[in-house]
Structure formats: C-alpha cells, structure tokens
Amino acid sequence: MKLNKSVEIRELPKMTLAYIRHIGPYKGDDQLFQNLWNRLFAWAGPRGLIGGRDFRSLVIYHDDPNVTIEDKLRMSVCITVPPETKVDGEIGRMELEAARYVIARFEVNAQQFQEAWDWLYGEWFPASGYQPDEKLCFEMYPEEPRDGKFVVDICVPVKPM
C-alpha cells in the first residue's frame, strides 16, 4: 500500500448523486462492486451522465462495520449527476451536503482498502487535532483502476477536537 503523501483538509461542495444501494456484506467482494458499477454505468451511459469536468464516482458507507452487523451494512455506489436528473428503478438520487473533509489519497489493491481506512482512523486522526463528524464518509476514485491498483481518496467529514 502506498500513501501518496497527500492528506489534506478541504471543503467539498454539495453533490447530487445517482446511486445503487447494497445492503449486506461487501468487504473484499470484488464481484459485487464490479456488478454494481456495471449496472450504474449501464444506466448512466445512454443518458450522457458519464464524464465531464465535475464528474465523480464514489462509494458511500452508511454504517460503521465495527458497530453494525454485516447483514445490515448499507453501501451506495454513486456518480455525480446534475440536480435535475430523473432516476428510476433501482437507481436512487441523493444530495451529499457540502462539508469539510480530511481527504487521504492511497494507491491500493482490492485487498488493501481496509488497511487504508485503518491507517486514517488509527494513525492520522489521533495526531490530527480533528475528529470525525457525523456526516457520511466515502471513497472517491479520481481515475480508472489500472493493473489491479486503485487510486482512492478516502473522505471523512471532520470537526475540530
């Protein structure tokens, strides 16, 4: 795992997201994530919603896996869309409010995501002067995965201690 030495505190703007939600276990399930992404992009592509300067892809984790039982964990695979976007079927739409986040960039393989999260919560937070805020945390993917490696920005809302 490589921490690309970029850990920053930054305001992120309000985002309108189209998503597919999954309830249940997800840790280490590459097929599940691939299936969810494929379904979301198959919906978004014909509607012209993929790409552009402000396009983002995210995975939002609604529950703390250390507290919530695995069968009840909620996770949403998302893309940013214009606010007026109409959704249907399994595709939902939500607003992610503007907030201040710690954004930690990592280059990981599929098995190292948990290690990256653990580093952020176990090493960075205790020495930072910040604590997690109550808003949703998420992973944002600034580029396509290559050769089994993912560049991921782990985004956790923060407030001062």
pTM: predicted TM-score of the whole model, two decimal places: 0.91
pLDDT of 128 > 80? The answer is yes
Write the CB contacts of 160 (distance below 8 Å, at least 6 apart in sequence). Answer: 129, 130, 131
Q: pLDDT tens digit string along 67-94?
A: 999 999 999 999 999 999 999 999 999 9
Would you state the structure tokens that stand for residue 52, as one six-digit string?
């552009």
Q: What share of the chain in percent tops pLDDT 70? A: 97
- Is residue 1 very low, low, confident or very high in pLDDT (cuts 50, 70, 90)? low
pLDDT tens digit sequence for 133-150? 999 999 999 988 888 889
Is 78 within 8 Å of 59 (Cβ atoms)? yes
pLDDT band at 5 (very low <50, low <70, confident <90, very high): low
CATH superfamily, domain 2-160, is Regulatory factor, effector binding domain (3.20.80.10)
Residue 72's CB: how many other CB atoms inside 10 A? Answer: 11
**Rg over CA atoms, the chain:** 15
- Tell me if residue 58 falls in helix, strand or coil: strand
DSSP three-state, residue 44: helix
For position 29, what pLDDT does the model report? 87
If phi over 0 gives left and psi between -120 and 50 gives alpha, with beta otherwise, what is residue 52? left
